[in-house]
Structure 1
């Protein structure tokens, strides 16, 4: 099912990159976007954590992946531990297999290449702020290759997608977009208890142990793009 973006009038941003010129370039790109104010910036992981503590309004953190000291994924994990409501968008020049796997494991909501256009960057920020995931096309291709290289092609003993009920397929799609149980319940007009029951059944039927596993399953069966 198609889920509309939640209307957000203002999405305060934290920008983190060890090259100040990159931060200034992004700020310049975004200055005409009234709903995307850059309220904080930092050039290292520790500085980012210090700055974030002074800016509780931040909703999305745009992080460079490769930084000295604390990497982008290490910083993402630290931010999610301290401020789980902050959505993480990784910005990088690279989309190799190891980097993509690391970003997924860190629970980041998006991954955009530094070669992306302004329109893709602003779309990615708004998507992750609305509770969705966003990956550049090249990153998505690497994700699929990772599934193949790790032997995660569909196997005969793996449950087929059509063994999920229509409701379970709907819920799986929303879980893959990182919707909370309460948000899923509100979207589908069902109770949170019902969502939790469906979630447990989906994990069992797909032989998955985490949201990452569910996303991989949904991608293999073309339930999400």
Structure 2
């Protein structure tokens, strides 16, 4: 089984070291790097030869904060999926980071099982949103909308197939699972996913989920 390559970026030494021990205790995870800051991590990445799948980053760090690091990673290493792990869990910040390309946003007081679940889900599907993050996204969408349907403001046209695929993406299906569900090839699903990202001007799969919720194309199950 291929292990998921994980990196940690957090300036709090004890927390970072404890998190590193946790990651090392999980069989399917492989800790490749732990850095005390964003610049240190970016400097280390070339030597890691594209082996980092998921980066767990803090928001408050000296020199380069989480917002800046997330932006740099998205621009320079778009294949690395970012999980924000922060003490700051206000709705505006969660939505801002997802809009900026973060694949997940968790509170630092989450438990081990949820963090491991988030890493595995982000690796598998491209995003992981717990109820707190989903509520933040939904409330942000409601705040920006009025009583009229947001669909009336949708400036792009999605085909029936694209809507089917978008709904399955939101339900955390990966490309292979979507292909099985719709009797398509994985390559065809990948093409539709890429077209959706291009059409909607989203940064990644997490952005597609935010887009679908914002425009009422996917109802959050509660």
TM-score w.r.t. the length of structure 2 is 0.77
Of the structure 1 ranges 165-174 and 61-70, higher mean CA displacement relative to structure 2 is found in 165-174
Alpha-carbon offset, residue 194 of structure 1 = 8.4
Distance of 1:167 and 1:75 partners within structure 2: 35
Q: 1:61 aligns to what?
A: 55
Distance of 1:154 and 1:178 partners within structure 2: 30
CA RMSD across the alignment: 3.6
Distance of 1:157 and 1:82 partners within structure 2: 34
User: Are the structure 2 counterparts of residues 140 and 26 from structure 1 closer, same or farther at C-alpha, using a change threshold of 3 Å?
Assistant: same
Q: 1:73 aligns to what?
A: 67
Gaps of 5+ in 1: 1-7
User: Are the structure 2 counterparts of residues 175 and 38 from structure 1 closer, same or farther at C-alpha, using a change threshold of 3 Å?
Assistant: same
More helix by share: 2
Alpha-carbon offset, residue 213 of structure 1 = 6.9
- 1:148 pairs, out of 142, 166, 174, with 142
Q: 1:222 aligns to what?
A: 218
Deviations 1:22-79 (A, max 9, x none): 1112122223211112110111110010122221211111001222221112111211
Q: Tell me the SS of whatever aligns to 1:116.
A: coil
TM-score w.r.t. the length of structure 1 is 0.76
- 1:12 pairs, out of 5, 15, 21, with 5
Equivalent residues, number = 212
User: Are the structure 2 counterparts of residues 196 and 40 from structure 1 closer, same or farther at C-alpha, using a change threshold of 3 Å?
Assistant: closer
Distance of 2:100 and 2:196 partners within structure 1: 25
